[in-house]
Amino acid sequence: MPIITESKSAAVVIDEAKCIAEKGCTVCVDVCPLDILAIDEGRRKAYMKYDECWYCMPCEADCPTGAVKVNIPYLLR
């Protein structure tokens, strides 16, 4: 079986079409224990500010619109 050693995309991807941060939502930012998510003040959308993730999942689970997708590395599944 081939070994996958690198992920193809960022750990956390925000679907900006679904994100309602411009309406005041900060749920994913608030639940992240590492404080790696933030709201872009210009676009008014959530984004991954620091590339450091524990894959603990509350950001994806708690987002009211399903905008957060956490890409768990293959080797951690």
Q: List residues near ligand SF4 by CB under 6 A.
A: 12, 14, 19-21, 25-28, 31-32, 34, 36-37, 46, 53-59, 63-65, 67-68, 70
Residue 32: what residue type? Answer: C
Of the candidates 62, 61, 47, 35, the one whose C-alpha atom is nearest the C-alpha of residue 11 is: 47
Q: Toward ligand SF4, which CB reaches closer, 2 or 6?
A: 6
Count CA atoms closer than 13 A to 36's CA, side-chain side.
19
Query: CB 4 → ligand SF4: shortest distance, Å?
Result: 20
Q: Toward ligand SF4, which CB reaches closer, 4 or 34?
A: 34
